[in-house]
Amino acid sequence: MKSSLISVIFLCIILSCSNSNNEDTSVSKALFYKGMDLSFQSELESYNVPYKDNLGNPINLLDYTSKNGTNLVRLKLWHTPQNGENSLQDVKSYAKRVKNKSMNLLLNIHYSDYWADPSNQTPPRAWQNMSFQEIKIAIYEYTKHVVEELKNQNTLPEIIQIGNETDSGFLWNHGKVWNEFSDNWENYATLINEAIRGIKTIDTDNKIKIMLHHSSVEKAIFLFDELNPFNIDFDIIGLSYYPQFQIKNLSLVQDKLNELAITFDKDILLVEIAYPFTLSWNDNSTNFIGDTSQTLSEFSATPEGQKAYLEWLISVINKIPNKKGIGFCYWAPDWVAFEGNEVTSTSGSAWENQCLFDFEYKILPAFDVYRTN
């Protein structure tokens, strides 16, 4: 009897250390981010856009996506937007909802009052007459304030992005590294470090991962090469990949991602991706993609092609060496055209053919990758 009891105990110990597939569960599997940039949602919700599941049943977008595999939401933050959208108050409000769904939060601080990208890095109006020393103080204090506000309401982001697509620097001209400012890397790095210092002043437990974001898979290595001597304390290389603007050679995409991972030993997140499910349109606005020359020959602009594209991209991310590929984030899957506001709907969405919802607002087959990967 005593021998049998010992055998049972021994068996229980073995089972507790392995699952039914004989896999070691003592080390948790690294989280693979399956994200969406939902920065438009706080506005779009006010127009009651009728999003639907694949059967045509009405859904609440955040509810539905969180229950079907989406585990990361990216929100952009503008300093003092004219209409209040993407303000700190706006972000705080939506961040609560994200966290209530047990989803991870990626905060994208633009350090501008409006869109920031490689050709537009305009400082907030409140900062535009500042000296470099004053800008250093401002970016530290502002970043610290933002993180403190989010921490105080228990919505601390898992990832914070310092600037948006900062290929050419940010907070021009103080942090510009383009054209006549091409030797300005020390100032650029200094401003990044001040932003990071602001984050870490509040995040004393180092829970937040810091991301720097480049707009190109192909060209990103130049930026990180230039920043490397300044020993910036960041964790993630964030990249945009839109085939209409970048390389279309699929093997080269993999090669460039692999090179980044090996060279800099950083995690890599494809933080902005999208692909069309049609070349047609559903409003009076010209779309960013409307021609086959802007797509990949391997993937048609159809619902099936959009899904196949995402499956390919996920496989590419998973093949990045040393498990440095940590996920993806689909940009504006919800920015559909609809009857309503003239600015962002029937006359304003240049994106509706790249959404994850069709022209009847039904979820597309591409969304299956969130459930299965």
Q: What is the DSSP string of 204-223?
A: TT--SEEEEEES-TTTHHHH
User: Count of CB atoms within 10 A of residue 66's CB?
Assistant: 18
The verdict on whether 165 is a catalytic residue reads: yes
Max Cα separation, the chain?
A: 85
269: nearest Cα among 37, 11, 6: 37
Cis peptide before 173 (omega within 30 of 0): yes
* CA distances from residue 24 to 13, 15, 27, 260 in whole angstroms, order as listed: 13, 10, 7, 30
Catalytic residue among 43, 141, 149, 272: 272
Helix axes 220-227, 250-264, angle to 10 degrees: 10
Known active-site residue 43: no
User: What is the radius of gyration, based on Cα positions, of the chain?
Assistant: 22
Q: Rounded CA gap, 152 and 246, in Å?
A: 40
CA distance 347 to 246: 27
Gap between the Cα atoms of 186 and 257, Å rounded: 26
Write down the catalytic residue from 165, 194, 218, 352: 165
- Enumerate the active-site residues: 165, 272
